[in-house]
Structure 1
Amino acid sequence: MSDAAPDGVDEELVELTRELVSIPSHDDETAAGDAIEAWLRAETDAEVTRDDAGNVVARRGDADAPALALVGHHDVVPPGDPQTDDGEYVVERRDGRVYGRGTADMKGSVAAAMVAFRDADPDCELVFASFVGEEVGGVGARAAIDDGFAPEYALVAEGSTDYSKPGVTDVVVAHRGRRASTLRVAGESAHASRPAEGQNAVYRACDAVDVVRELEFPETEVMGEPVRGSVAVTEIDGGSAWNVVPDRCTVTVDERTVPGSYAPLERTEDVDGVTWEVDQDLPPMACDDDAFADAALAAARAAQAGDPEHVVKPHATDAGWLSEAGTTCVVCGASEPGEAHTDTESVSVDVLGRCYRTYRGLAEDASAFAD
C-alpha cells in the first residue's frame, strides 16, 4: 500500500505543518493554540474548547459512545540558531521532508491528527486534543486531567517511526517514565589539615553513589514486549574550598522507570547524612487493552507498505499522565529517533500521510475495540 494520503491530502498536511511550525511556541504557546483552534472551528463542526491552561480540545461524533482521543502538544523546545532568521522560525521543504523546530516533535503529527479528526467518519466519540507544556513535565495534560479530560482511549501522536525497522511507523504499547532525584548529603566541616575532626560529605556521597551503582534496573513486560529501566548518577557537587572538609554535597540521579516498578533509591538513606528527594516523576505508560493495541496496529498496517509492530518507546510522553488517570493509551507518530530537539529537526512528508491514514483508520474502526 502507498504511504501517500488520499485525494491530495499530503499537500494539505504539508501546508498545515508549515503553518504550525512557523509559529513560535517555545516561550508562549498562545499563538499556536489560536491557529489550531481557528482551523478546527473553520474546518469542522466539532465542539471546540480552550481551557485556562491553553489546551485545545475538540469533540465530534456520538457523545454516548466510548471516546477515542487523538492527542498531541503544540509547545516546542527552544529553536537552535539555524532554525531562526531575524526572530522568525525557519521552515523549509526539501528532499521529501519538512525542516524546522517542531516538525518532528510534534506539530507534523498534530497536523495529521487535525486533518484525520476532520475527515474521519467515526463510530465513536472522536476527540482531538493538543496540549501545552508537554516539554516541561506535562503541564497541559495534567491540567486537562484535573479538569475532567478522561477519554476511554487515546492515541498519543508522539514518535514511533523507524523503531522496529527502517521505513515503518510502529505502535508503542509501553514507554518508560523518568524520575529525577537529588541526594542531599550533610557532613561536618573541618580544616583539611585535620580531616578526622569533620565528617566529609563528599565521602558520604560516594558511599551513596555506590548504593546507586549496585541497584538492579527495574524490568517488566507489556504485551510480550520487554521494558527495562535504568538508573544513573549524572551530577555531583560538593565542597567550598580546597582546604575545607566539605559539610554538604548533592548528587543528581536520573532513573528511567517501567510500568509498576521503581528502583529502590530509598536505600541511599541508609548512609549517614543522606536525604533522598524526588524532583520530578514522569509516569511510564502500559497499554492495558489487547483489542485496542491490536486495532491500532491493524490501522497502522493498512496505512503503509511496511510491516509495523508493537514496540516499546524509551521516552516519557503525555500518554503516561493519561494512562495513570485511567485512559487506555498507545503511541503512534511521525517522529523518528534522533530527530526531536535537534538543529536539523525534520519530518517525512510521506510519513505524515501515513499517520493521517492510521489515525483516520483507527477512528473509523472503533467497533474493533470499544464496547
Structure 2
Amino acid sequence: MDVFDILDRLVAFPSVAGKPNGDIAGWIEAYLAEHGAKVTMLPGPEGDRSNLFATIGPTDVPGYILSGHMDVVPAGEPQWSSAPFTVRREGERLYGRGTTDMKGFLAAALAAVPHLRELRLARPIHLAFSYDEEVGCRGVPHLIACLPELCAKPLGVIVGEPSGMRAVRGHKGKAAARLTINGRSGHSSRPDLGLNAIHAMADALSAAVSEAERLARGPFDPAFEPPYSSLQVGVIAGGQSVNIIPDTCTLDLEARAIPGVDPAGLLAPVKAKAATLAANGFRFDWMPISAYPALSLPQDAALAALLRELSGEAPLAAVSYGTEAGLYQAAGFDAIICGPGDIGRAHKPDEYILASEIAACQRMVEALGARCAA
C-alpha cells in the first residue's frame, strides 16, 4: 500500500473523538504487525478506546517518537461537497475529515514503516498514536505514563500536527471548565420566591470579562499571536421560557496561557466569584473539561537542530493552537511540532491536504530513519 491508499483507509474510519476507536486502532495494529513492528495496544480507562504504541528497531536504545492522534472532530456540517469519510481527490487536493488533522501525518508515518524496517535501525523510531485529542488531550496522558515500560527514554518527540512541514518550538497551554449554577424555579410574576440562575451567572460572567481584559495587559510573549494569555466564555445556556424563573444556568469557558503561566490558574477568579453566590442560596458546580500545558522548546535544543536539518527550515518559535507536545515536555521529554497540512483547513467542511505535503512528510520520516541507521 502506498501513502494514499493508507490515507483512504484511515479516513474511512469515522473515528470521532469521544467514541470507541477499536476499528481504526485495530487496522493500524494489523498493518504494523504485518510489517514487523512491535505493537502494543494500550486500552484507556473508558474501556472502549485505546492508544497504540509501536517500535521499529531496538527498544532498549534511545530513539525518537512520532506522535499523532487517531480521532477527528465531527463532520456534520451540511456544507461538505462530498462524503466526509471518503477521500475525494481533485488534482493535488485530497478532501476528507481528518486529512489535515491529522490522518495525513499518520498515513505518512505508516507508509514509511516498510522502508524503516529495511534500514535495520540502530536507534528506534516509535509510533505513538492516541485517542480523544480533540476533546482535550484525554488519551495521551495514559500512553505517556506507560513509556518507561515500553522503551528507553526517547531523545525527542515529533508531534505531527499540521504545520506546513515547518517545525514549531512552542504553543500556549489551555484549560477549559464548565460552571453550573443552580437556583430555584418559579413563576416569573413572583421573582421574590425564586432564585434566578441566569441573573446569578451574570456575576461570574462579569468576572470572566474582567479577567480577560486584565490578561490583555500582560505579561507578554512576542512569539505568540496575541502575545498575552487569554480567557473567553464560549457557551452560556439556561432557562426554558420567559415566564419561568430559570433554576439552572451553565457557562463554558477556557483560558490559553503563554509559557510560564498556569492556564487552570487563570480560571480561578471566575470560580471564586461563583463560590460567593452560596451566601445568597445558590449552588454551583465547577467541572474541568480539559487541560494541557504550554510547549516551550529552547532554540538551541538538539531536537530543534535535528528538525531544521530534516525540514530544511529553521523552526518557528510558536503557534497559537495547542497540541499534545506540551504534555510530553511536562513528562520530561523534548518535544516539537512538525506535520503536513495547514491548521487553517482543519475543523471545517471540505477539509483537505495536498498530496505533495503528505509525500514531503513521508520523506522526512524516512530521512529520520536514515539518521537513526547511521
Select 1:360's aligned residue among 347, 360, 366.
366
- Shift of the alpha carbon at 1:101? 2.0
Corresponding residue number in structure 2 for 1:22: 12
Report matched runs for 1:57-206 at 5 Å.
57-80=53-76, 82=80, 89-120=85-116, 121=119, 122-148=121-147, 151-152=153-154, 153-161=156-164, 169-186=165-182, 192=188, 195=191, 200-206=196-202
Between Structure 1 and Structure 2, which shows a larger proportion of helix residues? 2
- Shift of the alpha carbon at 1:127? 0.6
- Shift of the alpha carbon at 1:132? 2.6
Aligned length: 342
Decide whether the 8 Å contact of 1:159 with 1:335 is kept in 2: yes
- List gaps (5 residues or longer) in structure 1: 1-10, 162-168, 302-306
Corresponding residue number in structure 1 for 2:302: 291
* RMSD (CA atoms): 3.3
Q: 1:221 to 1:144 in 2, by over 3 A?
A: farther
* Deviation per residue, 1:12-62 (Å, 9 max, x gap): 22222223223333354323223322222233x332222334333221234
Residue 228 of structure 1: SS of its match in structure 2?
Answer: coil
Q: TM-score, normalised by structure 1?
A: 0.78
Corresponding residue number in structure 1 for 2:46: none
* Deviation per residue, 1:190-212 (Å, 9 max, x gap): 76556567665433322222221
Corresponding residue number in structure 1 for 2:262: 261
Corresponding residue number in structure 1 for 2:288: 279
Decide whether the 8 Å contact of 1:178 with 1:280 is kept in 2: no
Q: 1:55 to 1:173 in 2, by over 3 A?
A: same
Decide whether the 8 Å contact of 1:229 with 1:255 is kept in 2: yes
Q: 1:240 to 1:96 in 2, by over 3 A?
A: closer
Decide whether the 8 Å contact of 1:175 with 1:314 is kept in 2: yes
Select 2:346's aligned residue among 321, 327, 340.
340
Corresponding residue number in structure 1 for 2:32: 40
1:50 pairs with 2:41: yes
* Deviation per residue, 1:94-126 (Å, 9 max, x gap): 221222222112111111112334434445221
* Deviation per residue, 1:126-161 (Å, 9 max, x gap): 111222332333343233224346753211111111
Q: Which amino acid aligns with 2:93?
A: R
| Aligned counterparts of 1:108 and 1:94: Cα–Cα separation in 2 | 16
- List gaps (5 residues or longer) in structure 2: 44-48, 279-283
Corresponding residue number in structure 1 for 2:328: 322
| Aligned counterparts of 2:56 and 2:296: Cα–Cα separation in 1 | 24
Q: TM-score, normalised by structure 2?
A: 0.78
Decide whether the 8 Å contact of 1:100 with 1:344 is kept in 2: yes
Residue 35 of structure 1: SS of its match in structure 2?
Answer: helix
Corresponding residue number in structure 2 for 1:313: 319
Q: 1:185 to 1:237 in 2, by over 3 A?
A: same
Decide whether the 8 Å contact of 1:72 with 1:129 is kept in 2: yes
| Aligned counterparts of 1:252 and 1:24: Cα–Cα separation in 2 | 27
Decide whether the 8 Å contact of 1:179 with 1:278 is kept in 2: no
